[in-house]
Amino acid sequence: MKSAMLLVAVLALGLGAGIASAKIPVPVLDDAAKAKAEEAKAKAADAAKKETEQLAKAQDRVAERYKKGQGKSAKPAAPGKAKK
């Protein structure tokens, strides 16, 4: 009886794994849907380019601010007394 239950469990897991790994077919797009998809892809690429440019400008501003701050806050160490 236990072996039959084990066999059923193994078959159920095997079937479940097969169903879970099945791929859903890609729907066929008409010309209007293809054009819309291309337009969306172009907009996404343009937005990514703009974001990259803004990030580069922000990084440049931070680097300049850091360089300016290094000159002001760099204080020479006070001379210490030598211990004997």
Residue range 35-65, pLDDT digits in tens? 999 999 999 999 999 999 999 999 999 999 9
Residue 50 has a pLDDT of: 98
Poorest-confidence range of 13-17, 23-27, 57-61, 74-78? Answer: 74-78
Q: How far, in Å, are 2, 6, 74, 83 from residue 77 at the CA level?
A: 80, 77, 9, 17
pLDDT at 45: 97
Distance CA 63, CA 1 (A): 73
